[in-house]
């Protein structure tokens, strides 16, 4: 194989074909617990070609990644990258969960990173939290989230940095970095095919003094302290990790509303009892506050750099990660919040929450509205998955008979309605709409 073979676009195409065959063979051989060892073999072959070729070959490998990883991964199946250090749960939802700093493996074969200004701290229990989230999400909705986990300790590899800082220039661990981002690229391709848009959600843990979730959109504290009109300016939207969503969404929410209005992830978390910044309750970090606004992955995989997959970084405080019971309660809430956020922002109205699922999800408490008693005489009680903004009651001819805003305790007085069948239209604080039928005695 001469060096000339690698130059030109034909060479890149051939390279892609070689990779494809190797990876297909490898996955085929290994069945459901697939692997991408073929890529490792190619890289070792490239290294034997000599260092002069290596940068170009690595570039081609990177370019080929999304194509290679677009091979059919089976939703609900777990795959591992080279040497088993990167784990990918193939999914069928419109979102990806990424866990770059939750790994604990520290093989002696990989040298410790030792770089100026580098961080080595483990984001304690984020891997466990993400696994519990993914399992619970599947249980509740019947859908499998895409999830990518770096199993290596951050001392060995920091998966939220560019390849040089991530590996501290250790060429032997570059393949794990390629695996991580290759799996994400593959999940993104799948989401684009299935939904045309979606969300990259990255899970971290912080040790800051204020016990609140820091929701990162690549916007600095100083920016978040600006007025809504500044946040809604084109230049601010251009620098946001949710630029795609902010430029156009089904309910015409502005960028500021998506960041800290009622429909924002921060507000949804806060309403569930988990303080978050930014949110309507806590709109921006103060100048003296520590705040993580995102990193390499939110920049690389979100829509600030183009495309229609947005990115959000969730920096979780200690209590909701470390304690098993608190973590479990938080995971329950997070499942419902992510479900609602995705359904409201990224799915067609009434669409099933994942690809390949026909009809309604097999269990969908996030959409469940409890209404009692039914029939009712004087008062109707509503318990919704979110705070209720307003309720309108129509008769079967579509005539509006009653409207209540912020009904206290979700209770609607219906004593004055004549007996009959009615339709209630309920608007939730996050923008969601629900419709119910009830009988007035």
Measured in degrees and rounded to the nearest 5, phi and psi for residue 365 equal -65, -25
List Cβ neighbours of 4 (8 Å cut-off, separation of 6 or more).
none
Binding region for Zn ion (CB under 5 A) out of 94-102, 264-272, 324-332, 377-385: 94-102
Closer by beta carbon to Zn ion, 64 or else 302: 302
Closer by beta carbon to Zn ion, 123 or else 310: 123
For residue 101, state whether it binds Zn ion (rule: CB under 5 A): yes
User: In the window 16-35, what residues touch Zn ion (CB under 5 A)?
Assistant: none
Residue 205 beta carbon to Zn ion: minimum distance, rounded to whole angstroms? 6
Spatial distance between the Cα atoms of 73 and 355, rounded to a whole number of angstroms: 13
- Environment class of residue 14 by beta-carbon count within 10 Å: exposed (0-12), middle (13-18) or buried (19+)? middle
Contact 302, 296 (CB under 8 A): no
64 to each of 84, 185, 210, how far by Cα in Å? Answer: 21, 11, 43
Residue 130 beta carbon to Zn ion: minimum distance, rounded to whole angstroms? 12
Contact 320, 326 (CB under 8 A): yes
Binding region for Zn ion (CB under 5 A) out of 98-106, 133-141, 346-354, 373-381: 98-106
Binding region for Zn ion (CB under 5 A) out of 57-65, 203-211, 232-240, 354-362: 203-211
Spatial distance between the Cα atoms of 225 and 232, rounded to a whole number of angstroms: 13
- Environment class of residue 114 by beta-carbon count within 10 Å: exposed (0-12), middle (13-18) or buried (19+)? exposed
Residues 43-82 vs Zn ion: string with x where CB under 5 A?
----------------------------------------
Output the six-digit token pair for 433. Answer: 């709409």
Residue 311 beta carbon to Zn ion: minimum distance, rounded to whole angstroms? 14
For residue 155, state whether it binds Zn ion (rule: CB under 5 A): no
* Sign of the CA dihedral with 373 first, then 376, 377, and 383 last: positive
Q: Kind and range of the H or E element at 207?
A: none
Residue 316 beta carbon to Zn ion: minimum distance, rounded to whole angstroms? 10
Binding region for Zn ion (CB under 5 A) out of 93-101, 127-135, 265-273, 417-425: 93-101
Residue 183 beta carbon to Zn ion: minimum distance, rounded to whole angstroms? 18
Closer by beta carbon to Zn ion, 313 or else 345: 313
Strand partners, 202: 98, 313
Residue 174 beta carbon to Zn ion: minimum distance, rounded to whole angstroms? 20
Residue 305's closest CA among 249, 258, 242?
A: 242
Binding region for Zn ion (CB under 5 A) out of 102-110, 119-127, 208-216, 326-334: 119-127
Binding region for Zn ion (CB under 5 A) out of 19-27, 107-115, 190-198, 199-207: 199-207
List Cβ neighbours of 324 (8 Å cut-off, separation of 6 or more).
none
- Please, what is the end-to-end C-alpha distance for the chain in angstroms? 85
Residue 337 beta carbon to Zn ion: minimum distance, rounded to whole angstroms? 20
Q: Which residue is nearest to Zn ion (CB)?
A: 204
List Cβ neighbours of 235 (8 Å cut-off, separation of 6 or more).
none
Give the interface size with Zn ion as a residue count (CB under 5 A).
Answer: 3
Residue 123 beta carbon to Zn ion: minimum distance, rounded to whole angstroms? 4
| Residue from the set 43, 75, 87, 123 that interacts with Zn ion by CB under 5 A | 123
Residue 391 beta carbon to Zn ion: minimum distance, rounded to whole angstroms? 42
For residue 204, state whether it binds Zn ion (rule: CB under 5 A): yes
Residue 135 beta carbon to Zn ion: minimum distance, rounded to whole angstroms? 22
Residue 257's closest CA among 271, 236, 278, 286?
A: 278
Closer by beta carbon to Zn ion, 101 or else 155: 101
Closer by beta carbon to Zn ion, 157 or else 231: 157
Residue 80's closest CA among 135, 152, 139, 142?
A: 152
Residue 165 beta carbon to Zn ion: minimum distance, rounded to whole angstroms? 14
Closer by beta carbon to Zn ion, 312 or else 384: 312
Strand order in the sheet with 433-440: 400-405, 388-394, 420-428, 433-440
Output the six-digit token pair for 79. Answer: 């795959």
Binding region for Zn ion (CB under 5 A) out of 89-97, 101-109, 165-173, 330-338: 101-109
For residue 188, state whether it binds Zn ion (rule: CB under 5 A): no
Output the six-digit token pair for 350. Answer: 């009434």
Contact 8, 24 (CB under 8 A): no
For residue 386, state whether it binds Zn ion (rule: CB under 5 A): no
Sites of contact with Zn ion (CB under 5 A): 101, 123, 204
């Amino acid at each position: 194989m001469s060096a000339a073979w690698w130059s030109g676009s034909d060479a890149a195409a051939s390279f892609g074909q070689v990779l494809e065959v190797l990876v297909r063979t490898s996955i085929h051989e290994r069945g459901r617990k697939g692997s991408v060892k073929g890529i490792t073999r190619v890289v070792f072959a490239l290294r034997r070609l000599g260092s002069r070729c290596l940068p170009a070959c690595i570039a081609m490998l990177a370019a080929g990644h999304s194509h290679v990883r677009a091979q059919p991964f089976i939703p609900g199946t777990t795959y591992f990258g080279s040497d088993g250090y990167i784990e990918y749960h193939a999914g069928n939802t419109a979102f990806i969960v990424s866990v770059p700093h939750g790994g604990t493996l520290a093989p002696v074969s990989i040298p410790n990173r030792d770089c100026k200004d580098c961080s080595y701290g483990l984001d304690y229990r984020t891997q466990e939290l993400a696994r519990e989230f993914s399992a619970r999400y599947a249980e509740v909705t019947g859908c499998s989230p895409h999830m990518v986990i770096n199993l290596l300790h951050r001392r060995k590899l920091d998966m939220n940095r560019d390849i040089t800082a991530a590996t501290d220039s250790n060429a032997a661990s570059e393949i794990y970095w390629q695996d991580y981002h290759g799996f994400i690229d593959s999940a993104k391709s799948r989401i684009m095919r299935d939904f045309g848009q979606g969300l990259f959600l990255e899970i971290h843990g912080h040790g800051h003094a204020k016990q609140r979730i820091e929701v990162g959109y690549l916007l600095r504290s100083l920016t978040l302290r600006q007025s809504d009109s500044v946040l809604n300016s084109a230049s601010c939207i251009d620098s946001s990790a949710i630029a795609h969503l902010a430029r156009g969404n089904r309910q015409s929410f502005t960028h500021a509303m998506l960041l800290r209005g009622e429909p924002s992830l921060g507000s949804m978390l806060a309403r569930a009892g988990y303080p978050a910044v930014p949110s309507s309750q806590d709109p921006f970090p103060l100048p003296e506050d520590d705040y993580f606004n995102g990193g390499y992955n939110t920049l690389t995989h979100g829509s600030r750099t183009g495309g229609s997959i947005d990115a959000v970084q969730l920096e979780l405080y200690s209590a909701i990660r470390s304690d098993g019971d608190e973590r479990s309660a938080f995971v329950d809430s997070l499942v419902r919040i992510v479900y609602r956020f995705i359904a409201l922002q990224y799915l067609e109205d009434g669409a099933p929450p994942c690809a390949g699922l026909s009809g309604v999800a097999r269990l969908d408490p996030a959409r469940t509205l409890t209404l009692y008693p039914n029939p009712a005489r004087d008062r109707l009680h509503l318990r919704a998955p979110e705070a209720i903004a307003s309720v309108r009651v129509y008769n079967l001819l579509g005539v509006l008979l009653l409207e209540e805003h912020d009904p206290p305790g979700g209770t609607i007085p219906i004593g004055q309605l004549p007996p009959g069948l009615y339709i209630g239209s309920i608007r939730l604080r996050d923008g969601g709409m629900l419709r119910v039928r009830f009988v007035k005695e």
